[in-house]
Structure formats: structure tokens, C-alpha cells
Amino acid sequence: MRSEVNNMERRTFCALLVLTTTAFVAAPLSADDPDNCLLCHGFRGLGRIDNETQKIHAFYVDPDYSHLRRGPHARLACTDCHKRSEVSVVPHQPVTHVDCARQCHLSNPNGIDRRFSHDPIQSMLADSTHTLDTLAKLDFRGGPILDKDQSACLYCHDEPYFRLPLDVAPQLAAVTQRGIDRCNVCHAETVPIDIEYDLNHVLARLQPSRSPLEIAQTCAVCHSDPKVTAEHDMSDAVASYVRSFHGKATLLGEHQTADCLSCHVKTGENAHLMLGKSDPQSSVFVANIANSCRSTQCHPGADPAFATAAVHLDLPTAHGSIEYALAAIFIFLTIFTFGPSALLVILDLLQIIVGRTHHPSHRIEKLAKDLMASAEGRKRLKRFTISQRFQHWCLSILFVALVLTGFPMKFADRAWASMLVNMFGGLSTARNIHHWSGILLFVGFSFHVFQVVVSSLRTARAPGPDGQPMGLVKAWLSMPMWISPQDVRKTMQLFAHLLFLRKERPTFGRFSPAEKFEYLGVFWGTMLLGLTGMLLWGEQYASHFLTGKTFNLATIAHTFEAFLAVIHVGILHIYNVIFAPKVFPLSPATITGNTPIEKLVEEHSEFVEDAAMHMGKHLKADPTA
């Protein structure tokens, strides 16, 4: 199997070698432009603006299209499509619209002429959901798109270009004429074939002739038009597509992601045979969706249950669904966790704005200075150990990497998202960085959990004040980062103080409730993001244990939790460690582990007192405090 793949890759590679020479080739074997139309139509300015309709009549046709054989129509004469009687005289007769099903005339270099027509393709539409009758009746919000009698093919097709698969192998662009030269040893005269043209044609068909974005744009002409969708009782399918994982990748320029045709066209058939989802033969009929998802190009290893995932999930139109409920819960959680924290910061800034100053206890200040004078005191007042600081910086770097590579997917329709992804060298690279950053973060998280467990075990085994071991549960609950009832009380006191309802500002131990809250947020967030991220990454494997809907829920959880993390860190944490007036331009605690004495005395006086107690240092109570 593997060798087959290699052989195929090799063959494709060889073909691509030849293909990439198209920009610079020997003179084509058959005559370009036999009617000499490009003598005038090759000028970009050939055209006019209609005074009455203000419509531009542009008669320019890119001469390089035929000179450089840029598409399957390059070997056609203009009069194969346009009626000779109308255009062979100058000024031209009024030109009727081109009938795409008209028979045209292909002249091969071997001298054999063939007749060709798109009529069979057009006939296919009769059995599809896009019948000519349906297309003829389309009523667009902005008025008709095509003129009367203009071919309905133009709803989807413009001049076809060879879309060479250079995005798969861009390095092949450097290959020269030699590939074609080798073929032409035989094919120039002995078995004359227009090698360059034929190879272009065949290889361009190895992939869709349009990128996923262009396909979405094409479908959106009708499927995003409010009048068309209302008349046919359809939702805006393209809007929901671009909010899906595939659609976002499409917006970010990914060429290998699923587009509309990947799902809506049955394997072995073509887009002109597309059927509506209610047709049992359709690739998106409920019984067939699993097969469509599990095609060899997409998710071949997935369980059929994977197909229950909603691909066209647009939350605002999914009222009553479990996905909608989960998103609502996350928004509620975001507002009620981020909101109070933000309020605390704003009220804190308000104290500065109104000039309200809080004078910390002179006793604690003196005690802190006293402690800082000795090595042991400095050690005891260090709030963050080397290991904790190291973990924090690792977390910071990985967090930034995850945000930069993950958020473009969330905001794929913004211009900055594409710019960012391009800076990483494309979505595939950005995605790889995201995955590996996630893995590293999870490894770091596991290390931290290991440290917590070891620390809990040590505390559990150590003799307590009564001389007996504390026990695991008690030790675990006594971990310093838990938010205690006392923390809740003090937080309320802090709010009261900041709202001018209380004179004294409460002070805390080594970690303030806000810091504990942030820590627990990171703990929860890393677990949730890690688990949902791995689930989405290994979707084919995970689908054997979970239903498709789980992936929708995982996506929602992943994206909303990430958003919460970003706004919390990006707005509040950055304020606390960089922009807050007491620490600007950067809190030294992140580097040295030490908090400035002023902040220590004001916010962590209990920590100072604990340290003094352990060192046996006490100062008399401050009568002014």
C-alpha cells in the first residue's frame, strides 16, 4: 500500500515537473487565435461605459490565456463560442449570448479534428437538484444576475483556468523546459500530441478546478442570497459552512479542507449530478452522510457515528439545541467569572483616580523591612519559587503560541487572521504549532499536578499539631491555592472597601483570593482545553467511543474556554503584572519571585506576619493601625 502511494506520488511528481514549465514554453503546436481577434481584444482599454445603464462593456480578453495555454478553452477559436456571422465583420453585429452547450471544434496537433460539446454535462443537470428550470426561476435580492438568454452555466462557471497543484509541491516551480523536451522527443513529430496542454489538462483535474474558497463563493451566489434562500425555504448554508471547522480553514486559505462539493457530490460523480439532501441517492441524505464523511480523502478511520456531528452548525439559528445551551452556559460563566475580576480592577483604579490612599500598617511595614534585612527573611518572603517561576514562563510562552495559532481559526473571517496564519507559513504549519504547543502545555501541566500530589502526600504523612499524620484528604484540602470561606469573606470586604463602604482594606496571606482564582482558572482551563483539543485532534479515533455531537460540544467548549482564558489573561492578568501602577513596567515577582515591599505590606500582610512568626520575630501591635 505504502509503495503504491509512493509510486503515485512519484508519478505525480514527474508530471508536475513538466507541468510547472507552463509559464515559459515553446511555441504551441497549433495556431493561437486563428481569427486574429486578439489584435484588438488583447487591449485592456477596448471597451466602453454605457451612458444609460452605467454598465461597463469590457471587450478585453487576456491574450496570454491562449498564448500560454492557461486553460482548457485555450485551444478554441473565439468563433467556436461566438457566432462567426456576428463577429467576423467589424464593427461586430449585435452579439447574442453564448450557448455553452454548442458544439465546438477541437483541432489536435496530429491533424485530427474533433467535435466537442458540453451538452451531455448540461443534460446531467436535468436529473440534479439544480435543474435548468430551477436555475431559470432564481430571483435574487439585487435583481437578475444573468441576462435573459444567457447560459445558466455562468451562475457557476467563468473562463476555466488550469489550477495546477503547485500548492501541494511548490518547489516544482523551479523546474525548466526539460520535462517537455523529453516528451517531445517522440510526441513532437512521431506521435504528435500537445504535451504541455494535455499534461496541464490532466494534472489540473487531479484536484478541483477551484479552491475551496472559490467554491464557497460560487455556491454563495445563490445559497447566501436572502431572497433565493427564503423562496426555497433554505438556511444560509454558506454562512453556517464558514463557521464550521472546514469553512474556517477555507477562509484562511487552506486548500486541502472539505468544501461544499466534498460532501455534496457523491464519490465517482460530479457536481452536475448533485442531489438535494432529501433524495435517498444524495451524498448528504441522512443514511449516506457517514459514507461521505468517511471517504478515503476525509475521515476514513472514523466511526459511522462521527457523521452525527452537525457540519452546518450556526449557533444563532440553533435555538433549543444542546450546543446552543452549552454556548449559553459558557457565556454565562465567562460573564460571571471575568466580570467580578474586571470590576475589582476597575474599582482599584478608581481609588487612584479619586485620590483615595490607603496607608498600610507601619508595624507590618517595619516588620517586612526587618525580615528583608536577613537572608532567611528574604527567603521566607519570596512568594514564588524558581520552579514556579519556570513553570509560569513556560506557560506564558506556550499560551502565546496557542493563542496566535488558535485564534485565527476562531476569527477566520477577519483580515488579521489570514495575515497571522500567513506569517506562520499557512494553516497547516500554524495547526502543527498549535498541536505541539498544546502537548507541551499538557506535559507541563502533568508535571505540576505531579508536584501537587507529591506535596499533598508529604503533608499527609507529616505529623500535625497533635502529633498524628494529617491524612490525604485533609492534606489535599489544606493546599494553599484553595479558596477558603475566609477568602470569600475577605473578597467581600475588599469590594466593600473599594465601594467606599468600608474604611479598612483587607489584607491577605501569600496568595490573594484573586490570584487563587486565576490559578484555579488556569488549572480548569488547561484540563478542559487539553482534553477537548486532543479529542478534536484525534477525531477519527475518538469517534469510536463518542458520538458526532460530542465533537460539536468539544469545539464549543474549546473555543469559549479559550476566549475566556484570553480575555482574562489579556486584559486582567496583563494589567496585574505589567500595567498596574504598583508594578509597572513588570512585576519583579515574575522574575525574582519577590513582591515589592509596598505591595507586600498592603496586600499580603498575613504572609509577612507568618514569616515573622516562623522566625520568632514579633513587633508590638501598631496603635495607629
Partner 1 sequence: MSKLNPLNLPKTIAWFFRGTWRNAERVIPRAYALALAFVICFLTYQAVSYLIVGLLKPSGSPPQITQLPRRMDATLFEVDRRKWRGLDATANPRTPPSHYHRIGDWIEPDHQSGCTTSGCHSPLPHNERKEVRAFLNMHATSIHCGTCHMKSDRAPLSLTWYNLASGDPQGPPAILQAYDLLTSDEYEKQRNSPDDAFQDKLTSLLRKAAREADNLPALENLADHVNAVRATSDEFKQLLIQARESLPRHFRGEYGAKIAVRGVGGDPVLSHPDTEKLVAQYVSQKDTIKGQDRRDLLNRIHPLRRKSPLDCTECHRKQDGLIDFARMGYPPARANALVDPIVVEMIEHINKGTPFHMPDFIGVEK
Map the footprint of partner 1 across residues 54-93, applying CB under 8 A: 54-65, 67-68, 88-91, 93
In the complex, the smallest distance separating the C-beta of residue 66 from partner 1, rounded to whole angstroms, is: 10
Instruction: Return all residues near 524 (Cβ < 8 A) that are at least 6 apart.
Output: none
**Closer of 6 and 317 to partner 1 (Cβ):** 317
Helix axis angle, 548-567 relative to 322-354, nearest 10°? 0
Considering only residues 127, 133, 159, 598, which one is a binding residue for partner 1 as defined by CB under 8 A? 159
Indicate which single residue of 199, 216, 371, 498 sits in contact with partner 1 (rule: CB under 8 A).
216
Binding mask 467-496 for partner 1 (x = CB under 8 A): ------------------------------
Among residues 83, 102, 118, 157, the one that binds partner 1 under rule CB under 8 A: 157
CA distance 504 to 484: 21
Smallest Cα–Cα separation from 294: which of 309, 279, 281?
Answer: 309
Binding map of partner 1 across residues 549-568, x = CB under 8 A, - = no contact = -----------x--x---x-
Contact 75, 196 (CB under 8 A): no
Q: Is residue 167 involved in binding partner 1 (CB under 8 A)?
A: no
Q: Which three cell numbers stand for residue 466?
A: 497533635
CA 18, CA 201: separation in Å to the nearest integer? 12
- For partner 1, give the closer residue by CB, 168 or 220: 220
State which of residues 9, 13, 49, 613 lies at the interface with partner 1 (CB under 8 A).
49
DSSP H or E stretch at residue 114: strand 113-116
Within 10 angstroms of residue 522's Cβ, the number of other Cβ atoms is 19
Options 581, 585, 616, 623; binder of partner 1; rule CB under 8 A? 581
Smallest distance from partner 1 to CB 371, Å: 28
Cell numbers for 471: 491524612
Q: By rule CB under 8 A, what string of x and - marks binding of each residue 252-291 to partner 1? A: ----------------------------------------
**Residue closer to partner 1, measured from CB, 26 or 322:** 26
Residue 99 CA to residue 137 CA, distance in Å, equals 18
Report, in Å, the least distance between residue 277 CB and partner 1. Answer: 19
Which one-letter amino acid corresponds to residue 345? V
By C-beta, is 123 or 176 nearer to partner 1? 176
Rounded Cα–Cα distance for residues 262 and 516 (Å):
48
Size of the site for partner 1 (CB under 8 A): 95
Q: Can you spell out the DSSP letters for 409-428?
A: HHTTTSHHHHHHHHHTTSHH
What residues between 354 and 393 interact with partner 1 by CB under 8 A? 355
What is the smallest separation between the CB atom of 290 and partner 1, expressed in angstroms? Answer: 27
Element of type H or E holding 333? helix 322-354
Query: Which is closer to partner 1, CB of 351 or CB of 540?
Result: 351
| Structural contact between residues 601 and 608, judged by C-beta atoms closer than 8 angstroms | yes
Cα 544 to Cα 209, 246, 257, 308, 535: the distances in Å are 34, 21, 22, 12, 11
Task: Enumerate residues 6+ apart whose C-beta is below 8 A from 191.
Answer: 110
Site string for partner 1, 219-258 (x = CB under 8 A): -xx--x-----------x-xx--x--------x-------
Of the candidate residues 51, 190, 468, 624, the single one contacting partner 1 (CB under 8 A):
51
Site for partner 1 contains 413 (CB under 8 A) = yes
Q: In this structure, what C-alpha cell is assigned to residue 167? A: 500548492
Contacts to partner 1 from residues 309-328, by CB under 8 A = 314-317, 324, 327-328
Tell whether residue 108 is a contact of partner 1 (CB under 8 A).
no
Rounded to whole angstroms, the Cα distance separating 520 from 108 reads 73
Fill in the per-residue mask, 128 to 147: x = in contact with partner 1 (CB under 8 A), - = not in contact.
--------------x--xx-
Paired sense of beta strands 104-107 and 113-116, if any: antiparallel
Least distance in Å: CB of 324 to partner 1?
Answer: 8
Among residues 4, 50, 149, 466, which is the contact residue for partner 1, using CB under 8 A? 50
Selection from 619, 364, 338 nearest residue 508 by Cα:
364
DSSP letter for 462, please. S
Question: Which of 334/422 has CB closer to partner 1?
Answer: 334
What residues from 5 to 44 belong to the interface with partner 1 (CB under 8 A)?
Answer: 23-24, 26-27, 33, 35-40, 42-44
338 counts as binding partner 1 under rule CB under 8 A: yes
Q: How far is CA 511 from the centre of its chain?
A: 37
Least distance from partner 1 to the Cβ atom of residue 253, Å: 10
In DSSP notation, 471-487 reads -HHHHHHT-TTSPPHHH
Q: Which residue matches cell numbers 444563532?
A: 316
User: Which listed residue (14, 101, 132, 154) binds partner 1 by CB under 8 A?
Assistant: 154
